[in-house]
Structure formats: structure tokens, C-alpha cells
Chain A
Amino acid sequence: MTGINWFKYSAPSAFYPLAVRSVPWFAAIAAVLAAIGLYLGFAVAPTDAQQGEAYRIIFIHVPAAWMSMFIYVVMAGWCALSLVFNTRLSAMMAQALAPTGAWFTFIALWTGAFWGKPTWGTYWAWDARMTSELILLFLYFGYIALRNAIDDPRRADRASALLALVGVVNVPIIYFSVKWWNTLHQGASVSVTAAPTMAKIMLVTMLIMALAAWAYTIAVALKRVQAIILERERNAGWVGALATA
């Protein structure tokens, strides 16, 4: 025995108990980190000299924005695995991640709007990041909608995987096109990058919140994948044994 045989867990029946056992751990990590992060963010971190108290929303906004993009890439990675190795579990993981990714994208946009109102004086500016984040939200919606529109789960796996891969090739193109479009149209009227160097406590808090968001994503995805596994493997013997046990 030279360590854990990871391929064992590519079978839903083997992965399911692992997912069941892991969820409480990641949920606990997420809760503890979020509690620390929120305490630091709202009680310890100093008021920003330029933006006042409103800046504190970045402790939610920035981790959400990071996760929204990161989850899409991870999802596309699972999709690539599912297409290459034809593994059901990879597709189920991608399916489980999509709603969380869409939620983080939505939260990033929503908190961004609430931060923008006191800081920029407007809920929405056609800023490059905001516009590409909005397009990312539509990419998530397209992925979820295509999955839901196809009844046969294996066909839905493969079609949505292909869409996610086409999307991930396009995401950088969309980002740079929007960025260039934005500079051409409105110049540097609104600049997010020119913020003063961030206090160390703010940066640490943001990183803690990002780790909390990460642990939350893993916990939620593993919980959701359990439901997906049970639904799709409902005719398998081990699920029946689980139900009678």
C-alpha cells in the first residue's frame, strides 16, 4: 500500500460516504473562519480614510468575486475530466458547483453595487470588471439552463461540459475585450485600481474571508453532490441499502 488510491473515489458509491464525512469539517472551518473574518472586518479593522465605513463591504465582495471566477475554472476542469475520462462523478461535481458559482457572481455584483453607491455615487458603472462579471453570470445561467433542458443525464453531462469548456476559453477574451472597450469609451473616470495601499489588517481579513468562502464552497458542493448522486444512482443497489439501513 503506497498511500491512498484516489481512483477509488471516482466511483459515486465510494465517494458518497467520503462526501458525507467531509461536509461537517468544511462547514465548521467555513463558520469559524467567517466568524473571525467578520469580527476582524467589522470590529478591528480601522475606518478607511477615504471611503469611510462603506469600504467594509469588500470583505464580502472581494472573496465573492474571486470565488465566482475560480469556481468557473474549477467547474470547467471537472467538465474536461468528465469528457476525457467519461466519469460520471466529474460531471456531477461540475453540476454541484454551478449554482454556488452563480450565487457568488450575483453576490459580487450586488455588493459591488452597494459599495459603488456611496463610493462612486452610482450603483452601476460600465466598468470592465463589472461588465465581465455580469457576462460571467450569464455564462453560469447558460450552463445551468442547458443542463436543465436536457432530460437524459448523460447527454446533459456531455453537452454542458462542452459548453463550459467553450466558455472558459472565452472568459479571458471577454475580459480583455470589455476592458479595452471600457478604456476607449469612458477613459479613467472611475478607477478601482488606484486605491491606496491597503492596511495589513484589511488584507489579512480579506484573505481569511476568502478561505472561509473557499471552505463554504467545498462544503456546499459536497452536500449538493450527495443529493445529485442519490438522485441519479437511485436504482443502484448501494443506494437501496443506504435507504433501508
Chain B
Amino acid sequence: MSAVGDAAERALETAPAASPFGAWQAVAWSLARDLRIAVRTRAELGVQLLFYVIVIMLFPLSVGPEPALLRAIGPGVAWVAALLAVLLSLPRLFAADFADGSLEQMGASAFPLPALITGKVAAHWIATGAPLVLLSPVLALPFGLSGEESAILALGLLLGTGILSLLGAIGAALTLGVRGGGALLALLVLPLSAPVLIFGAGAVDAVRAGLSPWPQFSLLAAGLLLAIVGAPFAASAAVRIALD
């Protein structure tokens, strides 16, 4: 009874929003806003990139400088480091806006919240995911990856980091203002990102085995499309739960 009433009320609230405030407008607005914030806090982003580089550098130091071994683990190392770097950057996605009340204003605005979140995630990916993709061929060099393998790795990261940002947005929204948020976020997001890791690193392995990497890329692209369609709605539901 009350649930039906609530739903009807919510439908009334959001219905007029459709005409004057379009979803694409909302995506563009929040994308531009978050990119502006990213540019102004670029020192923080630089630290995250350094984290990525340092994690990768730790592997030769820990497993030894054997070239054959490094070449074998190179793609996997790049992927795990990318996953950790994205994970480290996820709290930035909502935490500051949640703390200063902007997120509540977004929730109350006439723009659809999933569209605003889509823009935020896109900005997050441009600020944190894209630099990892651009940096990966350089970091593949000390692991002895060939040019083709580096290109495959970068292409996989290009598709995969997008999924990680989108999946991570759900986890970041669920852990908003929750005790032990950082470790909990890792527990929620890491198991769900196993397929991304498998297909991303698997693409390089396929090329090494003389196979085509396209099945892996197709699956990653399918996952990215699924995440683009589904994750903003799940994340927006999670944000609404946190705002209650």
C-alpha cells in the first residue's frame, strides 16, 4: 500500500523532469563539472598514477629479474595494478560530494540521477582510467612485452578500466559514509571484477598462443555495454539509499 503510494509519488516527482532537463544535458553537465574538479586536484591524480607505477615496479623486485618470468607475468601484473589503482581512486567518485551535500542536491535536482552519475563515472574514467591505458605500453617495456602484446594490453585496458569504473561506482555508492569504507569497498568490488581481469589478461595470452584476441575483446566490449546500461541505475539506487 505505502510502497505503491511512494512509487506513484516518485513518478510524479520525476515525470516533469523529462521534458525541460534532458538526460544528455545532465551527463554533459556533471562530466564537465567533475573534469573541472579533476583538473584542479591534479596533484592527487598524479599520486594515483605513481601508485600504479610503483606497484608494477615491485613485482620484478619481489619475483626476480628473470626475463622469461617477467615476460610471462607482465600482462597479469599490469592488470592487477590497474585494478588496485582504480580501487584506490574510487572513494573520490562520491565521497567529497556526499560530505559537502552536493550529492544530496543532485538527488533533489530535476535532472535524472542516473544521468548525473553517468557523467561522474565518465569523468572519473577520463581522470584515472585513461592515464593507466596511456601509461601501460611504457610499463610493458621493462617486462619485455613485444609491441603487439603492448598494444593488445592497452586495448584490453581501454575496454576493461571502463567496466571497473562503472562496477566500482556501485561499490563506492554502497559504502558511502559506512564504517571501514575502503577495505569494504575492496571486498565488494574485487570479486565482481574477476571476469574483467580474466578477459583482459587473457587477450594477451591468446595472442601469445597464436590465437585471435578478438573473442576476449568482444566479451570485454559486451561487458562494457552491459555495465554502461546497468551500472548507472544500480549506482543511483545505491546513492539514494545512502541519502535517505
Contacts and interface: CB of A to CB of B under 8 A. Distances in A.
A238 interface: no
A146 B184 contact: yes
A181 B191 contact: no
Interface string A19-63: 000000000000000000000000000000000000000000000
A86 B10 CA distance: 15
B73 interface: no
Given A155-B244, A163-B174, A146 B188 contact: yes
A163 B244 contact: no
A139 B175 contact: no
B241 A159 contact: yes
B170 A177 contact: no
B205 interface: yes
Interface residues of B, number: 33
B202 interface: yes
Interface stretch (A102-110, A165-173, A192-200, A216-224): A165-173
17 contacts: A86-B6, A135-B191, A135-B194, A139-B192, A146-B175, A149-B179, A150-B178, A158-B241, A162-B174, A162-B237, A167-B192, A169-B230, A170-B192, A177-B194, A177-B219, A180-B198, A184-B209
Interface of A: 84-86, 135, 138-139, 141-142, 145-146, 149-150, 154-155, 158-159, 162-163, 165-167, 169-170, 173-174, 177-178, 180-181, 184-185
A159 B179 CA distance: 14
B178 A177 contact: no
Contacts of A85: 3
A202 B195 CA distance: 35
Contacts of A86: 2-3, 6
Contact of A145 (B184, B202, B238): B184
Contacts of A142: 184, 187-188, 191
A239 B239 CA distance: 34
A213 B136 CA distance: 49
What DSSP secondary structure best describes chain B's contact surface? helix
Contacts of A135: 191, 194
Contacts of B190: 138
B199 interface: yes
Given A155-B244, A162-B241, A166-B192, A181 B234 contact: no
Given A146-B178, A149-B180, A184-B202, 7 more contacts: A145-B184, A146-B175, A159-B238, A162-B238, A174-B191, A178-B195, A181-B198
Contact of A146 (B174, B192, B223, B237): B174
Nearest to A148: B179
Contacts of B195: 170, 173-174, 177-178
A168 to B, nearest CB: 11
Contact of B174 (A139, A159, A178): A159
A138 B194 CA distance: 11
B177 to A, nearest CB: 9
B35 interface: no
B206 interface: yes
A146 B187 CA distance: 9
B117 to A, nearest CB: 14
A149 B177 CA distance: 10
